[in-house]
Amino acid sequence: MTKYNIGDIVQMRKQHPCGSYEWEIYRTGMDFGIKCKGCGRRVMIPRPKFEKRVKKIIFSANPENTNS
């Protein structure tokens, strides 16, 4: 199981309408708060849906927790 942290930048499987694949995590818990790096749009997404849609972590705010 991958651990996600506030400040991580992740690549999603589907492109946002603005054209960006990159999102920054600003809230974790039962729901994830993510912010589009292209247009700044903020959305809340349930944890299971988020974990299913993430392709990879591009940048980790806490590098020692990336090796799981």
68 within domain boundaries: no
What is the pLDDT, as a whole number, of residue 68? 47
What is the pLDDT, as a whole number, of residue 65? 57
Q: How many angstroms separate the CA atoms of 64 and 33, rounded?
A: 22
1 within domain boundaries: no
Query: Closest Cα to residue 23, out of 49, 33, 52?
Result: 33
Q: How many angstroms separate the CA atoms of 2 and 57, rounded?
A: 10
Range of the domain at 41: 9-61
Q: What amino acid is encoded at 37 in this protein? A: K
Per-residue pLDDT tens over the stretch 22-61: 999 999 999 999 999 999 999 999 999 999 999 999 998 8
What CATH number should be reported for the domain holding residue 29?
A: 2.30.30
| Model pTM score | 0.85
Structural domain count, the chain: 1
What is the pLDDT, as a whole number, of residue 36? 97
What is the pLDDT, as a whole number, of residue 61? 82
Q: Tokens 């980790």 — which residue? A: 60
